[in-house]
Amino acid sequence: MFDSLDETMKKDAKEQTSNSERMMLWLAVAAASVLVFGGLYFGVRVIG
């Protein structure tokens, strides 16, 4: 009868973004993660 909040949120998110937009978001998150962790690794290597 009623959808749960989780189901409603998933349905709303799916309607708002296309597959290409979601893929670009994941690529941006992956690139940012590589830059952050790469910077931390490089910083530790320079200090130590």
Domains of the chain: total: 1
Residue at 39 is within a domain: yes
Residue at 36 is within a domain: yes
Q: What is the pLDDT of residue 39?
A: 97
Joined tokens for residue 47: 């200090």
One digit per residue, the tens of pLDDT, for the chain of length 48 reads 577 888 888 887 777 778 899 899 999 999 999 999 999 999 999 998
How big, in percent rounded to 5, are the helix, strand and coil portions of the chain? 85, 0, 15
Please, are residues 45 and 37 in contact by the beta-carbon 8 Å criterion? no
Domain that holds residue 46: 24-48
Residue at 2 is within a domain: no
User: d(Cα 26, Cα 13) in Å, to the nearest integer?
Assistant: 15
Residue at 45 is within a domain: yes
Residue at 37 is within a domain: yes
Note the pTM of the prediction, 2 decimals: 0.62
